[in-house]
Structure 1
Amino acid sequence: MASPFAALAARLAISAEGALKRNLTLDRSVAIARSIWPQARVAPVGSFANGTSLHGSDIDLVVDTRGIYSRAGAGIWAQKMEDELIKNRITKPTTTAVHASARVPIVTYIDSKYLIGVDISFTTNGLTNTEYVRRELDERPYMRTMIILLKYWLKSRRYNKVYTGGLSSYGLALTVIGYFNVRKTVKARNCTVEDYHRWIEERDYQRLLVDYLAFWSCQWKLASTMLEPAEGAIYKKGTKGHCGKARNSLLCIADPTDPTNDVTNGTYKIFKLREAMKVLRNKLETVQQDVELDALENIFKKTGREWPEDDQSRQKFKGKSGKAKSKQIKMRKIRKPGMVGTAIRRVTFSAD
């Protein structure tokens, strides 16, 4: 399925040099973590680990303390990790922060040598999630290309963060995996597995993306149903225990690695996102086979208003997105010797 879409994904993904810098950054971080917890499993998770990172992306690293995890303990470990990183000059005090009170305590910093951002968490969820996605993408590599293109599209519209109502990288991967598993399940009722693979091969990336966007923007009833990506099945919300109550305004995707977890619980801009998907689908349907890469990239990149100001569909789904702010500034309480009370350290992270 060689096409301009595959070439664009290669342009947007991390380069070989970028991957090398991130691996060297990982080596430095892993060495510090293992010096503190010799028996811990330390491994990269998320997009870099499964091969869907974009240029300028950070690294997510997990320290698995092998069964002794607790939220209170993880906050202490995060502080210890920060102290050792600064002590060993892996990072600087001005480019690091600890979020001990977060749902998952995390250390965020920028490697002072390679200028790569790193997030270190102390939980095991990311390891199993990454292994699942990597296995699925290795079996069907065309999904990796689609995810890279869709991540770039989401990022340019600031729909790539759950805390701003969008989709996380893991959530996006499950939408792609889930779509193809649903199609495989549906087609298997009327054809063989060989026929299904032939259906894939007969479509280039343009057709696959258009079909995917049609499913998510029009065909699937998001308000009343939920998706089980691993099964390739759609259930009524609440029947599988992932959605305890009717939540018509929220997307619901079950976590294949944790049946109790609704991955997209915070994606509250789903209907606005669906409208944007319709716009992208319409644009992709008109793309010619000999399209230039710059022109194709402009379709995925936001280059101004996508709807006229007087368009009723835009007004209907407008919401409060204008008030959401990107979390580029991290805050951390610090206490100095002899100080009464606490102060706030303001740390600003710049893109690499």
Structure 2
Amino acid sequence: MSPRPEEEEMRRDVVNRVEAVIKDLWPMAKVEIFGSFSTGLYLPTSDIDLVVYGKWEQPPLQQLDQALRQNKVAEPFSIKLLDKATVPIIKLTDRETDVKVDISFNVETGVKAARFIKDHLKVRDSFVIHTVIHLNEHTKPRLNLNEVFTGGISSYSLILMVISFLQLHPRIDCRASNINLGILLIEFFELYGRHFNYLKTGIREIMKVMENRYRPSMLCIEDPNLPGNDVGRSSYGAMQVKEVFNYAYLVLSHAVYPLSRSYPNRNMESTLGRIIKVTQEVIDYREWIIQQRGNRHNARMMDIKEEQTSSEDQQRDSTSPHRAGSPVSLSSLQQQSSFSSSSSSSVSSLSGSDIVSSWCSFLEVQEKSLKTYVNTFLR
């Protein structure tokens, strides 16, 4: 389920279309991407998070709503204004690609969070985070936890849980490059599905125990970029997600149990396939993207290669001292003529007597060497 080049290109086009509408309204506005698309941890069904920076007293939700409808960027029924939320946003679905987009205004925490994730993300973390997020995305619709404001857990909260899990892991080898990632995943589900005390423990870069008089939320996760901000305060459905983690732990630990090798249906699905089901709808959607974007992406890559090849040829021609069609300078001709004249003059300066005397000297040397060799041999 890793992102494909065609999927990334498609999402870039969606961002460009939305940004064009925003720039028409406010030419001085600045649009930035954050969230899973910014960090590369997005799934085929993940949305795109955008933040718009500008000078407004109140977020101009209504004005942008009208502009999006007029430019037909999104389906009219898909545009929703969440002006009563903690962070007012506009939600829409792109008309051409069905990609969902969330737009907020003058909120810096999302961009800072994306930078924090990029700084802390490692290869081993990426596997665990991808799997946890995919499991969360798969179970949220069934539990009616699609959004944070309906009690779900955000991807940012899940990533902070994974980072905390890896930082506080009791085994030293958990940070080794050859660590078994499957075991780490099972241990993550075991911690947050069975052993973690949600009532008394909060999550931060170092876990802390909550005092009895201070328990701000069921899932307390301190924002590392904004101390005091609880990113899990709206996730009142955390206990349902906890049960999902517990279920994932039981299924995966049972799947890797040695006796499971003798089960007749063990080869019918992969180990992760027992907890994550990729629906046919998602498969068809990804194939549709390849059909729509594949030829365009390949053509663009060919154009880039041709441009690189032509630029390399031009550089090679410009650096070649004897390139075809290059003008010959007068100074080079003069140098060549002077060199040839000097060579001919040096040869012609040798007279016939000089040549004969040189040849005689050579023969005398050879004769002396031969006599020395014969005398040595006779002795």
Shorter-chain TM-score: what band?
0.5 to 0.7
Aligned to 2:191: 215
* 2:214 pairs with one of 215, 222, 245: 245
- Residues 253-303 of structure 1 deviation map (CA, whole Å, 9 limit, x = unaligned): 100111121111122233343333222112212435997694334322379
TM-score by length of 1: 0.67
**Distance change >3 Å, CA 114–CA 282, structure 1 → 2:** closer
Tell me how far 1:178 sits from its aligned partner: 1.4
Aligned to 2:69: 86
Q: Which runs of 5+ in 1 are unaligned?
A: 1-10, 304-351
SS in 1 for 2:168: helix
Q: Map 1:218-237; keep pairs closer than 5 Å.
A: 218-228=194-204, 231=205, 233-237=206-210
Which segment drifts farther, 33-42 or 147-156?
33-42
Residues 146, 209 of structure 1: 8 Å contact kept: yes
**Distance change >3 Å, CA 215–CA 41, structure 1 → 2:** same
Q: Map 1:195-210; keep pairs closer than 5 Å.
A: 197-198=175-176, 201-210=177-186
Residues 52, 148 of structure 1: 8 Å contact kept: yes
Which segment drifts farther, 56-65 or 170-179?
56-65
Tell me how far 1:222 sits from its aligned partner: 2.2
- Residue 274 of structure 2 aligns to which amino acid in structure 1? I
Distance 1:270 1:171 in 2: 11
Aligned to 2:345: none
Distance 1:134 1:28 in 2: 26
* 2:123 pairs with one of 126, 141, 145: 141
Distance 1:204 1:272 in 2: 28
SS in 1 for 2:81: strand
Q: Which runs of 5+ in 2 are unaligned?
A: 279-288, 290-379
**Distance change >3 Å, CA 208–CA 90, structure 1 → 2:** same
Residues 85, 149 of structure 2: 8 Å contact kept: no
User: Does 1:298 find its partner at 2:279?
Assistant: no
Give the CA RMSD over aligned residues. Answer: 2.9
Aligned length: 267
Distance 2:274 2:92 in 1: 33
**Distance change >3 Å, CA 293–CA 118, structure 1 → 2:** farther
Aligned to 1:167: 153
**Distance change >3 Å, CA 221–CA 114, structure 1 → 2:** closer
- Residues 284-337 of structure 1 deviation map (CA, whole Å, 9 limit, x = unaligned): 12435997694334322379xxxxxxxxxxxxxxxxxxxxxxxxxxxxxxxxxx
Aligned to 1:111: 94
SS in 2 for 1:60: strand
Distance 2:180 2:15 in 1: 36
SS in 1 for 2:52: strand
SS in 2 for 1:53: coil
* 1:37 pairs with one of 26, 30, 33: 26
SS in 2 for 1:142: helix
Residues 60, 119 of structure 1: 8 Å contact kept: yes
Aligned to 1:4: none
Q: Which has the larger radius of gyration?
A: 2
Which segment drifts farther, 215-224 or 251-260?
215-224
**Distance change >3 Å, CA 161–CA 296, structure 1 → 2:** farther
TM-score by length of 2: 0.63
Is the strand fraction higher in 1 or 2?
1
Aligned to 1:349: none
Aligned to 2:9: 20
- Residues 101-153 of structure 1 deviation map (CA, whole Å, 9 limit, x = unaligned): 3332222222223332211111222111122112222xx12222222211221
Residues 252, 272 of structure 2: 8 Å contact kept: no
Residues 33, 81 of structure 1: 8 Å contact kept: yes
- Residue 146 of structure 1 aligns to which amino acid in structure 2? V
Is the helix fraction higher in 1 or 2?
2
Greater relative contact order (CA < 8 Å, ≥ 6 in sequence): 1
SS in 2 for 1:131: helix
Residues 44, 59 of structure 1: 8 Å contact kept: yes
Distance 2:208 2:77 in 1: 48
* 2:251 pairs with one of 266, 275, 283: 283
Q: Map 1:259-270; keep pairs closer than 5 Å.
A: 259-270=227-238
- Residue 253 of structure 1 aligns to which amino acid in structure 2? I
Q: Share of identical aligned residues, percent?
A: 25
Distance 1:78 1:104 in 2: 12
User: Does 1:58 find its partner at 2:47?
Assistant: yes
Distance 1:14 1:163 in 2: 27
Residues 39, 117 of structure 2: 8 Å contact kept: yes
Distance 1:259 1:154 in 2: 26
Tell me how far 1:156 sits from its aligned partner: 2.4
Residues 237, 246 of structure 1: 8 Å contact kept: yes
- Residue 266 of structure 1 aligns to which amino acid in structure 2? S
Distance 1:282 1:236 in 2: 27
Residues 253, 263 of structure 1: 8 Å contact kept: yes
SS in 2 for 1:119: strand
